[in-house]
Amino acid sequence: MKQIQWFPGHMSKASREIKEKIQLVDIVCELVDARSPLASRNPVIDDIVGVRPRIVILTKTDLADERKTRLWHQYFADHAIPTFDFDVNKRFNLKAFVDSLQQILSEKFAKEKAQGRKPRAIRMMIVGIPNVGKSTFINKIAGRKAATVGNKPGVTKAQQWIRLHQQLELLDTPGILWPKFEDQSVGLKLALLGTIKDDILPLETIAEYGLTFMRDNYPNQLVERYGEAGISADFIEQLDSIAKMRNSIGRGGETDYHKIYQFFLHDIRNGALGCLTLEVPEEVTADEA
């Protein structure tokens, strides 16, 4: 498979602006997709953030495998990075979140107080790749529509400060990807979850990757949704069985494969195939860690 590259001009500009603004914030809040916490982390962010304090939010936990999510919390804890879950269907404990931020920054604020500086709100930068749920997260903790929400990559186009209350100010930033995916499996995972646009990779390639993953890791969920034929080792047989279930057989008895690719991807991205997680910490190599 060809090397996956997608780095539009606005992403390059956003990267430069984040570097310029990083000195204005106390802490960085990095959002990652709980279904693929490693693949959805932008390695460029590590270089930008440096040693600045960081907290990780695992988004879309309602769509992720709960057992594997616990493993990821432990993984980040082992790397001294605090984490929080974010399920859009549940109340987010903002008080506990702010308390955690204050604890992380207690030494910094104690020094400022000793220097005679007045107490102030925590300044936090929100970062993450496209379509990871940044705007949804901001609106949820703000209790109002403070950021534009869209179920597609690249909704936020510019940085914006958002004041939540006296204790917390947020600097939202556009989602940015890194220039190219050296590990092709990373590109496939992000494509399957809808993080990169569907025209970057052929839908057939994404669908085949996703169906193979589901057959090998969540076969019961495939059967529940598509029937026994859904776990066929033959990719075309899988597609044909889904087509029959969906009545997507065209004239002459031929399957509309493009339509089935779209249907399957919609199912996997929106939870119709059940909760799933594409990777676990045990798969992280020494270099990745």
> Over the range 206-241, which residues count as b (16 or more CB within 10 Å of their CB) and which as e?
bbbbbbebbbeebeebbeebbeebbbbeeeeebbbb
175 in a labelled binding site: yes
241 and 232 Cβ atoms separated by less than 8 Å: yes
Rg (CA), the chain: 21
Give start and end residues of each alpha helix (H) in 62-202: 66-78, 94-104, 106-114, 134-142, 184-193
Burial (0-12, 13-18, 19+ Cβ within 10 Å), 160: middle
Number of Cβ within 10 Å of residue 109's Cβ equals: 15
Number of Cβ within 10 Å of residue 201's Cβ equals: 21
133 in a labelled binding site: yes
**How far is the C-alpha of 268 from the C-alpha of 18, rounded, in Å?**
32
230 in a labelled binding site: no
135 in a labelled binding site: yes
Q: Output DSSP code: residue 3.
A: P
Give start and end residues of each alpha helix (H) in the chain: 9-21, 43-49, 66-78, 94-104, 106-114, 134-142, 184-193, 203-217, 219-226, 235-246, 257-270
**How far is the C-alpha of 223 from the C-alpha of 255, rounded, in Å?**
20
185 in a labelled binding site: no
Q: How far is CA 244 from CA 128, 240, 249, 257, 273, in A?
A: 39, 6, 7, 11, 17
136 in a labelled binding site: yes
Annotated binding site for GTP: 131-136, 175
Annotation: binding site: 131-136, 175
